[in-house]
Each structure stands twice: as structure tokens, then as C-alpha cells.
């Protein structure tokens, strides 16, 4: 019986080759994007100088490194932190999206479903309108993070009954909480003064502007820990695709896995949006594209989604900075502009596809 | 797992959801090396009883013991290494291939004592259920019968001493129905305990060592097919006239509804 064995093994080998190709292309795209993004701006910096400066920073002396301290300062104090933030936020949002889709068995799930984004927006608006400053300049981010986590816990707590959570109940509860947070946001904008109203609007549009290293550091630490957690759980996500009961027959503690994963999603999304505001559709689009390229297995999916999400936002940020002369377009506008039509296409395609949501 | 040893011992098991009594006073034993068929009309409590055996549901009265320990005392992975379950409906979200799905049956053994080379076992399971030619196809693109067989292959790959099948023949054609029950017999011959929920009484009679008839949540008969599947019992439980004949080849009972011309 070797004849039927051939296609399966060939398929596996083919899939491995595709995974390597996707990692490589993703990595190259990312590096090119970083160098490109670092070079563009009011002060143009050549790719060689960018690479030289990075090499010098990691302790490799070379001839490309820029001699001008102004270039050095622009790179390390303005552009690199902003690029690092774009990369991290894009990667974390994509990972959070992949996890949401895995635990709900639905490619249309995204972190916003459980209220993270709207909770964070409500938190940020409260901090801005009420003029909270107990953590200095980080107050808005901190309250936004708390709002995102809080909204998620409320959604999850309300959707749970008799120790179980049904996906549909969770999604409908999410809609209710999202609507409530939207109303709260409207109230805060109504009572706030013009300046805070403007600040809230721009926070919601999302921007990488003014990212600094300490903020990048926090996003990196929380994000890397949470991403590592999702990679550990990835095999169990695969089993969830068989349905809750069959997954539990294979030894997965389904309810515990869901709770843990939703907390991880809240951490990933919360820390990402806290500093840069709402950036939608990355979590929806990237995991779906990656799944089409390398199949649904969750461990490679999560890793490739991180790369893809990071690359997408690095490029989106380049566009945001350069599309309009002398203006910094909010990056959230760009991702929604691309994401909206894609989402529509996704729905059409999923409905057409044989065998339902694949 | 020695043939004849007791896998499950249920004693006076009852199961209630709110005020509804689903199962009452069920006492039976499931032995290694035997095929037990659970039969009964719709709503008799077959699936609930299976749920108690799998550990999905907890008996609200009586005791349910697996290998000498209450079922509730096992951890998820321990249970997954002892019993595998084929449910009635089998769906897979996302585009996993048939091979991927069958490989998932190996999950409970990863990092454990049974962590062998999985590939031969997976391939063997695919061949026994006649789906090796589908290995690289996407599961959700298969027909109902193919999905049922692939899911059975997943159950075989789990390689457990106890195998539970909930209406495994429902979506299958005649050949594959017989194939599935032959596989069940082979598994029992290896010393495994098989519990299979069936609607087709003749199929149950032909392949099971023991038949348990459930009716309104109670066990009304338990024993060898020829002793249990009698006209009087079946007519009382199913409320429809039947004729029970003897298969000329095997001597096993064949159950036919009596029909008017």
C-alpha cells in the first residue's frame, strides 16, 4: 500500500517548503520595510547608513555607519522606536486574531468581539476627559489597558453559565458590551471640552506618532510573554477544530483553555492598543491570509501571523507618514480602508466555499 | 487490558437534568474483549449513558467506575489514553487535511509512554477505514460517509483499550456499515472493550457479544443477542410489531418490522 502513501507525504513535504518560503518572504519583507521606513521622512537617510547604524549599535564597527549625530539621533530617538512599535503592535494584533479564530473555530472572529478594543477606547476616553494623571504621561495607556481587560472579563463572566461558555452567547454578549462601551464613549465626548474631544477622536484613529523606547519596552515584554503562551497552547487549538466534545475526549480541558486564551488575547490586544489607539482588521486579515498560504496548523500560523502583522503595520506606517506631504495620517484609517473591502471579500468567499467556513 | 476483565462497572446509575429524569437505576458491566451494543428507541437515554461512560456527564446517583476508580476521578489526559469516542456528527473547522485530522488522534500520547512513531499507526488507521486515498484531501470537502470513516480512523489512531462509537453506521452505505462493525469485532479480539450505540437491531445482533436495551431511561434487558432481542421485548419497547428470524448462515437473530401489503 505505498501508492496512497505518496500524496500524503508529498503534501507534508510541500507544506513544509511553503512554510519555509512564507517565513523567509515574511522576514525579508519585514527587514526591507524596516530599512525603508527608517530612511523615509523629512530627513532622508540611505539604506546603507541605516544598516550601518544598527550594526554599530550591536557592536560591529563598519564604514557605512553615519557620522552625522543628527542622523544618528533621528534614527534612534524618533524612527526606530516608532518602527519597533509598528512591528510589535501589528504582530501582537495578528497573533491575538489567530488565537480568537482558533478558539471560536471561526475565521471571522477577531479580538474586538470580546470587547477589548471598545473597553480600551472607553478607558482612554475616561482618562482624557476626566483629566486623570495619577501615572503621569502613561495614565491614558494604563487606563485604556485596564478598560480592555475589564471589558473582556465582563463579557466572559456574563456569557458563562454553569461552568460552560457557548461561542454564540459569548459573541452576542460581546455585541451588548461593545454597544454599552460605545454609549459610554459618546457620553464622555459629550461632556468633555473641545480639546479632550479632539484627543479622544485621534486616539481612536490610532497612530504610531510619538512612540518612545520605554513604551516599546513594555509592549515588547507583555507581548512576547503572551505570544509565547499562545505558542505553547497551539497544539490544543488544533484539537479544538474537531469541536469541543471531541477535543475534550482527546484530553483537552476546553473551558480552561478558552479562559486562558481569552486572557492572553486581552493582554496582547490591550497592550497593543493602549499606546497607539485602535487599529482594526489586522487581527482579522493577517491570520486568514497566512492560513490560505500555509494551512491551518496553529503553531506555524501564530509565528507567521506575527511576522505578517508586523510587516503589514511597518508598511502601513510608511504610507501613513508619506502619503500626504507634511501630514501624519492616522494608521487606523489606512488599515480600515484596506480591511473593510477585504472583510467583505472574505465573507463572500466563505459563503461560496464548499464545506462552510474554511 | 486483559480480555474478560471489567472496564466499566455501573451500579444503580441515575442521571437527571433539572426535573427531567434521563436515566434511572442502570446497572451493567462493560468487559474487555467484548462488543456491547446499546439499543433502544429515540430518547431512551442511549447517548446520555454513553456520555456517562465517556466522562462528559456525571451520574447524579449511583456509582460509575472505570478500571476500579470512579470516572470523575480521572484527569482529562488519563481518560483520553483509556477511551476513544466517535460522535455522531463530525465536523472540522478550518481546512485541515484528512491526515492532519487522523494525526490529532495521537495527541493524548504526546510526551507520554505511548509516544511511539505515529506515522505507521496513522497510516494503518487510514487503511483499515478505507480512506488512505483521501489522506491529502481537506476534511470539510468530503462526503458524510467519508467524514464518518475518517473520524473512525482518528479514533483508531488514538489506540485506546476502550472504544466508544455513537451510531457509527448512520451515514454509511451497506459495505462500510459492515466494515465498521467488523473493525469493532477485530478491536474486541485484540482485548479492547467496545461500546457501540446502534439503531439497526439486526446489525447489533450480528456483531455484538452483549446487547443492552434501554427504554425510558431504564435498562430493560441485557445479555446475548438471541436472549435479549425477542419479539415480545422489541414490540414492547418500540411499540411496533416485528418478526425475529434466524440468519441461516450465522444463526444470529434478524429483526424485521411486520408490514402490511
Q: What is the pLDDT of residue B96?
A: 93
Residue B226: exposure state from Cβ atoms within 10 A (0-12, 13-18, ≥19): middle
Positive or negative CA dihedral for A157, A161, A163, A166?
negative
pLDDT of residue B156: 96
Q: What is the mean pLDDT of residues B53-57?
A: 94
What digits encode the pLDDT tens for the residues B159-218?
A: 999 999 999 998 899 999 999 999 999 999 999 999 999 999 999 999 999 999 999 999
> Which secondary-structure segment (H or E) carries B222?
strand B218-223
B99–A8 C-beta distance less than 8 A: yes
pLDDT digits (tens, 9 = 90+) for A108-163: 778 877 888 889 889 988 988 888 888 877 888 888 889 988 888 888 888 777 66
Q: Report pLDDT for A260.
A: 92
Q: What's residue A339's pLDDT?
A: 81
> Is residue A162 assigned to a domain?
yes
Cβ-Cβ contacts under 8 Å, A297 against chain B: 96, 100
pLDDT for position A215: 87
Q: Rounded to a whole number, what is the distance in Å from the CA of A228 to chain B's nearest CA? A: 19
Averaged pLDDT for residues B244-257: 93
Is residue A235, in this structure, part of any structural domain at all? yes
Asked if the model's pLDDT at residue B84 lies above 60, the reply is yes
The whole-number pLDDT of residue A4 equals: 40
Identify which of A235, A241, A250 has the shortest CB distance to residue B93.
A241
CATH number for the domain that contains residue A270: 1.10.3470.10
A19 domain residue, yes or no = no
Q: What per-residue confidence (pLDDT) applies to A165?
A: 66
Q: According to the model, what pLDDT value does residue A5 have?
A: 39
Q: Does position B92 have pLDDT exceeding 80, yes or no?
A: yes
Owning domain of residue A207: 82-352
Angle (CA) B223 B22 B163, round 5°: 50
Confidence at residue B83, expressed as pLDDT on a 0 to 100 scale: 96
CA distance A201 to A204: 5
Residues facing residue B64 across a β-bridge? B10
DSSP run (H or E) holding B188: helix B174-189
**CB contact B143 to A (< 8 Å):** no
The answer to whether A69 faces chain B, any CB pair under 8 Å, is no
Number of domains making up chain A: 1
Query: Residue B113 has what pLDDT?
Result: 67
Note the pLDDT of residue B114: 57
pLDDT at A281: 85
Interface pTM, i.e. ipTM: 0.92
> B141 to chain A: which residues are within 8 Å by CB?
354-355
Q: Residues of B2-20 as b/e, b for ≥16 C-beta within 10 angstroms?
A: eeeeebbbbeebbbeeeee
Minimal-distance CA residue of chain A relative to B104: A239
**pTM of the predicted protein model:** 0.88
Check whether B37 has a pLDDT greater than 90.
yes
**Residues of B with Cβ-Cβ distance to A5 under 8 angstroms:** 123, 132, 135
Domains located in chain B, CATH noted: 6-257 (3.40.50.300)
Question: Pick from A223, A283, A290, A229: which is nearest to A257 by CA?
Answer: A229
Whether B231 has a pLDDT exceeding 90, the answer reads yes
Q: Which residues of chain A have pLDDT under 50?
A: 1-8, 354-358
In chain A, which residue ranges form alpha helices assigned H by DSSP? 5-39, 47-57, 69-73, 80-104, 116-129, 139-159, 167-191, 194-205, 213-240, 244-249, 254-276, 282-294, 298-322, 331-352
The answer to whether B76 contacts A296, with C-beta atoms less than 8 Å apart, is: no
A-chain residues within 8 Å CB-CB of B91?
A: 242-243
Residues A358, B94: C-beta atoms closer than 8 Å: yes
Per-residue pLDDT, A352:
61
Any chain A CB within 8 A of the CB of B161? Answer: no
Query: What is the reported pLDDT for A236?
Result: 94
Chain A nearest C-alpha distance from B202 (Å)? 29
Could you write out the DSSP letters of every residue in A188-199?
HHHHS-HHHHHH
Q: Is residue A49 situated within a structural domain?
A: no
B57 and A CB contact within 8 Å: no
What is the rounded distance in angstroms from the CA atom of residue B188 to the CA atom of residue B208? Answer: 10
Instruction: Report if residue A39 sits inside a domain.
Output: no
> What's the confidence (pLDDT) of residue A2?
37
Is A238's CB within 8 Å of B84's CB?
A: no
Nearest CA in chain B to A355: B140
Determine contact: A245 vs chain B, CB below 8 A.
Answer: yes
Q: Which of A241, A293, A351 to mutate to test the interface with B (most CBs of B within 10 A)?
A: A241
Question: What's the average model confidence in pLDDT over B63-92?
Answer: 93
Q: Is residue A4 part of a domain?
A: no
Q: Which of A10, A242, A355 sits opposite B104 (nearest CB)?
A: A242
- Which residue on chain A is closest to B103 by alpha carbon? A239
Give the C-alpha separation, A63 to A67, whole Å: 9
pLDDT given at position A10: 54
The phi and psi torsions of A30 (rounded to 5 degrees) equal -65, -45
Residues in chain B: 261
- Give the pLDDT of residue A351: 63
How far, CA to CA in Å, does A121 sit from each of A9, A92, A136, A333, B228?
48, 18, 19, 16, 67
User: Among B97, B132, B140, whose Cβ lies nearest the Cβ of A355?
Assistant: B140
B87 to chain A, any CB pair closer than 8 A? The answer is: yes
**Is the residue at A210 inside a domain?**
yes
Residue A50 domain flag: no
**B131–chain A nearest CA distance, Å:** 9
Q: State the smallest CA–CA distance between residue A183 and chain B in angstroms.
A: 35
Amino acid at each position: 500500500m505505498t501508492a496512497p502513501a505518496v500524496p500524503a507525504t508529498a503534501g507534508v513535504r510541500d507544506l513544509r517548503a511553503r512554510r519555509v518560503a512564507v517565513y523567509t518572504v515574511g522576514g525579508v519583507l519585514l527587514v526591507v520595510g524596516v530599512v525603508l521606513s527608517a530612511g523615509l521622512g523629512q530627513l532622508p537617510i540611505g539604506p546603507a547608513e541605516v544598516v550601518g547604524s544598527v550594526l554599530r549599535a550591536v557592536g560591529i564597527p563598519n564604514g557605512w555607519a553615519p557620522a552625522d549625530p543628527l542622523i544618528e539621533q533621528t534614527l534612534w530617538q524618533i524612527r526606530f522606536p516608532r518602527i519597533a512599535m509598528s512591528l510589535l503592535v501589528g504582530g501582537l494584533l495578528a497573533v491575538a486574531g489567530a488565537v480568537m479564530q482558533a478558539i471560536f473555530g471561526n475565521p471571522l472572529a477577531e479580538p474586538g468581539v470580546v470587547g477589548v478594543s471598545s473597553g480600551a477606547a472607553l478607558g482612554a476616553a475616561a482618562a482624557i476627559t476626566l483629566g486623570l494623571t495619577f501615572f503621569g504621561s502613561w495614565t491614558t495607556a494604563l487606563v485604556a489597558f485596564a478598560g480592555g481587560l475589564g471589558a473582556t472579563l465582563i463579557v466572559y463572566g456574563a456569557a458563562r453559565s454553569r461552568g460552560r461558555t457557548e461561542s454564540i452567547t459569548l459573541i452576542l454578549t460581546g455585541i451588548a458590551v461593545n454597544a454599552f462601551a460605545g454609549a459610554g464613549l459618546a457620553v464622555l465626548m459629550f461632556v468633555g471640552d473641545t480639546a479632550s474631544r479632539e484627543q479622544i477622536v485621534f486616539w481612536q484613529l490610532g497612530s504610531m506618532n510619538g512612540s518612545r523606547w520605554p513604551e516599546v519596552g513594555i509592549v515588547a515584554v507583555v507581548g512576547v510573554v503572551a505570544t509565547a503562551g499562545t505558542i505553547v497552547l497551539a497544539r490544543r487549538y488544533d484539537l479544538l477544530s474537531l469541536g469541543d466534545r471531541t477535543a475534550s475526549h482527546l484530553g483537552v480541558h476546553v473551558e480552561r483553555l478558552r479562559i486562558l486564551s481569552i486572557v492572553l488575547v486581552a493582554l496582547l490586544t490591550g497592550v497593543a492598543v493602549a499606546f497607539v489607539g485602535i487599529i482594526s482588521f489586522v487581527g482579522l486579515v493577517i491570520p486568514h491570509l497566512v492560513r490560505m498560504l500555509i494551512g491551518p496548523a496553529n503553531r506555524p500560523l501564530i509565528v507567521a501571523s506575527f511576522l505578517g502583522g508586523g510587516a503589514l503595520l511597518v508598511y502601513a506606517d510608511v504610507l501613513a507618514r508619506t502619503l500626504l506631504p507634511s501630514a501624519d495620517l492616522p494608521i487606523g484609517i489606512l488599515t480600515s480602508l484596506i480591511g473593510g473591502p477585504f472583510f467583505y471579500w472574505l465573507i463572500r468567499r466563505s459563503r461560496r466555499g464548499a464545506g462552510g467556513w474554511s | 487490558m486483559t480480555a474478560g476483565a471489567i472496564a466499566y462497572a455501573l451500579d444503580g446509575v441515575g442521571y437527571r437534568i433539572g426535573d427531567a429524569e434521563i436515566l434511572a437505576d442502570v446497572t451493567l458491566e462493560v468487559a474487555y474483549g467484548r462488543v456491547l451494543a446499546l439499543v433502544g428507541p429515540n430518547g431512551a437515554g442511549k447517548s446520555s449513558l454513553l456520555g456517562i461512560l465517556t466522562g462528559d456527564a456525571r451520574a447524579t446517583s449511583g456509582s460509575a467506575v472505570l478500571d476500579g476508580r470512579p470516572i470523575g476521578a480521572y484527569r482529562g489526559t488519563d481518560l483520553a489514553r483509556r477511551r476513544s469516542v466517535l460522535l455522531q456528527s463530525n465536523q472540522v473547522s478550518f481546512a485541515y487535511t484528512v491526515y492532519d485530522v487522523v494525526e490529532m488522534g495521537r495527541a493524548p500520547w504526546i510526551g507520554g509512554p505511548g509516544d511511539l512513531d505515529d506515522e505507521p499507526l496513522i497510516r494503518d488507521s487510514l487503511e483499515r477505514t478505507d480512506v488512505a486515498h483521501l489522506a491529502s484531501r481537506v476534511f470539510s470537502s468530503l462526503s458524510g460517509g467519508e467524514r464518518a470513516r475518517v473520524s473512525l480512523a482518528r479514533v483508531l489512531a488514538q489506540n485506546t483499550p476502550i472504544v466508544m462509537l455513537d451510531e457509527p453506521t448512520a451515514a454509511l452505505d451497506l459495505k462500510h456499515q459492515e466494515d465498521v462493525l467488523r473493525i469493532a469485532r477485530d478491536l474486541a479480539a485484540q482485548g479492547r472493550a467496545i461500546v457501540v450505540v446502534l439503531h439497526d437491531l439486526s446489525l447489533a445482533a450480528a456483531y455484538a457479544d452483549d446487547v443492552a436495551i434501554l427504554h425510558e431511561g431504564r435498562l430493560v434487558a441485557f445479555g446475548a443477542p438471541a436472549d435479549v432481542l425477542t419479539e415480545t421485548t422489541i414490540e414492547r419497547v418500540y411499540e411496533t410489531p416485528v418478526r425475529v428470524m434466524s440468519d441461516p448462515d450465522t444463526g444470529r437473530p434478524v429483526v424485521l418490522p411486520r408490514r402490511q401489503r
